[in-house]
């Protein structure tokens, strides 16, 4: 399977939900498979908070493939022999699309903390300009997990003609205070770290010595991605070797896991992008511009496939069940399919236990 990597610059203004305007913006994306003549075989994949457009395949020299590689490719659930699969780096992120540390208008300096607050609707809205430019008036399906699931739901509600199939995994119709509280640790960690310098840091400074507050915030994320059960299985109360200050205290395997993931992540992800994207996640509430969630979901014309994971501590099955129940209560039970996958991986399951849900995805797009 060939990876097509590209990016498009949009010179026109983008009107944001906040009332502010982006003077121009770039969207970086990858695609796999071939867009057919009538441009009707596109499947849009939305990535999660720290994901990127690199959803599948390997670049030369890479040891790891894209983040949803087991699902995207020839003969896989999203079959690239049949479908043109496209994944766009979200606005605000740091992998080529415009964000706080990259250009918006060509030649301009990065806006940093002057970058406007972005919402899920803004992310989707920007992507729609790209699909339009590519000639994709209607996608065969849209799919995403976590923050990607929010984008998928947003398409269903705000662009009801854009697709007949919306697939949402491990997500919610409105981010809960529980999830906001985890995000808060990262937000506070980043903003209060003296090396953040109100956003005027040099990213290179963090490649060797990552921003501690960011690493700690990310560790909090890693707690929420797992679950008590999965931690028991994965780490138990095992000790590992240690040095430095920790020699005094001893170190548990779960602690080493958190350090490893926290600091490595803080070396490669941009802290400004992180706070802008978690803010977008926090703001997300599908009922925000409506009288009720029912009023919002009434707009959906697509068939919704909802997949939740039993041990998910970040976006709990009960949250996905609210979406199912609301659609059912609208008398549209035939337009929603819900599966709760029995997994002990917690929120991470949608990025790990493919064989437990790929058949639901296959079914949804067949």
Nearer Cβ to a copy of itself, position 135 or 228? Answer: 228
Query: Which of 22, 31, 33 lies closest to 53, judged by CA?
Result: 31
Q: What is the smallest separation between the CB atom of 141 and a copy of itself, expressed in angstroms?
A: 30
Query: What is the nearest approach in angstroms of a copy of itself to the Cβ of residue 237?
Result: 6
Nearer to a copy of itself, 49 or 361 (CB): 49
- Smallest gap from residue 176 Cβ to a copy of itself (A): 6
Closest CB 282 distance from a copy of itself, rounded Å: 7
Say whether 347 is catalytic.
yes
Shortest Cβ 300–a copy of itself spacing (Å): 21
38 among known catalytic residues: no
| CB nearer to a copy of itself: pick between 38 and 208 | 208
- For a copy of itself, the binding residues (CB under 8 A) are 113, 117, 174-178, 180-182, 184-185, 187-189, 191-194, 198, 212-213, 215-217, 219-220, 222-223, 226-228, 231-232, 234-237, 245, 248-250, 252-255, 258-259, 262, 275, 279, 282-283, 285, 316
- Is 6 or 253 the residue whose CB approaches a copy of itself more closely? 253
Q: Which is nearer to a copy of itself, 216 or 300 (CB)?
A: 216
Q: Which one is catalytic: 312, 339, 343, 348? A: 312
Nearer CB in complex with a copy of itself: 254/306: 254
Instruction: Identify which of residues 250 and 333 has a Cβ nearer to a copy of itself in the complex.
Output: 250
Per-residue burial over 255-271, b if 16 or more Cβ lie within 10 Å, else e, is bbbbbebbbebbbebbb
Distances (CA, A) of 168 to 49, 91, 145, 224: 15, 20, 6, 19
Q: How far apart are CA 334 and CA 320, in angstroms?
A: 16
Name the catalytic one among 52, 146, 224, 296.
146
Beta bridge partners of 239: 252
C-alpha distance across the termini of the chain, in Å: 21
- Tell me how far, at minimum, the Cβ of 281 lies from a copy of itself, in Å: 12
Is 146 a residue of the active site? yes
Least distance in Å: CB of 200 to a copy of itself?
13
Write down the catalytic residue from 47, 54, 339, 347. Answer: 347
Q: Which residues are catalytic?
A: 146, 312, 347
């Amino acid at each position: 399977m060939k990876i097509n990597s590209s990016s498009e610059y949009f010179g026109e203004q983008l009107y944001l939900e906040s009332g502010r305007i982006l003077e121009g913006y770039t969207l970086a994306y990858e695609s796999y498979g071939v867009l057919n003549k009538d441009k009707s075989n596109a499947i849009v994949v939305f990535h999660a908070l720290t994901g990127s457009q690199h959803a599948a395949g390997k670049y030369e020299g890479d040891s790891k493939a894209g983040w949803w590689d087991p699902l995207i490719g020839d003969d896989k659930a999203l079959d690239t022999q049949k479908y043109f699969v496209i994944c766009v780096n979200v606005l605000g992120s740091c992998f080529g699309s415009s964000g706080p540390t990259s250009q918006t208008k060509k030649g301009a300096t990065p806006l940093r903390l002057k970058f406007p607050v972005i919402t899920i609707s803004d992310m989707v809205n920007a992507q729609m300009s790209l699909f339009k430019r590519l000639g994709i008036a209607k996608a065969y399906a849209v799919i995403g997990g976590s923050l990607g699931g929010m984008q998928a739901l947003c398409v269903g509600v705000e662009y009801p003609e854009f697709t007949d199939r919306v697939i949402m995994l491990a997500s919610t119709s409105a981010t809960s205070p529980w999830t906001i509280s985890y995000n808060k640790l990262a937000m506070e960690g980043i903003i209060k770290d003296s090396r953040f310098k109100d956003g005027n840091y040099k990213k290179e400074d963090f490649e060797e010595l990552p921003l501690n507050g960011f690493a700690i915030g990310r560790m909090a994320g890693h707690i929420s991605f797992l679950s008590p059960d999965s931690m028991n299985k994965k780490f138990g109360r095992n000790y590992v070797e240690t040095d430095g200050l920790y020699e005094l205290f001893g170190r548990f395997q779960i602690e080493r896991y958190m350090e490893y993931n926290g600091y490595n992540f803080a070396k490669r992800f941009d802290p400004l992008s992180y706070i802008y994207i978690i803010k977008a996640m926090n703001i997300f509430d599908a009922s925000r511009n409506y009288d009720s969630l029912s009023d919002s979901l009434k707009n959906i014309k697509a068939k919704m496939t909802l997949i939740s994971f039993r041990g998910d501590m970040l976006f709990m099955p009960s949250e996905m069940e609210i979406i199912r129940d609301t659609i059912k209560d609208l008398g549209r039970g035939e337009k929603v399919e819900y599966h709760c996958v029995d997994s002990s991986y917690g929120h991470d399951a949608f990025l790990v236990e493919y064989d437990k849900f790929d058949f639901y995805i296959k079914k949804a797009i067949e």
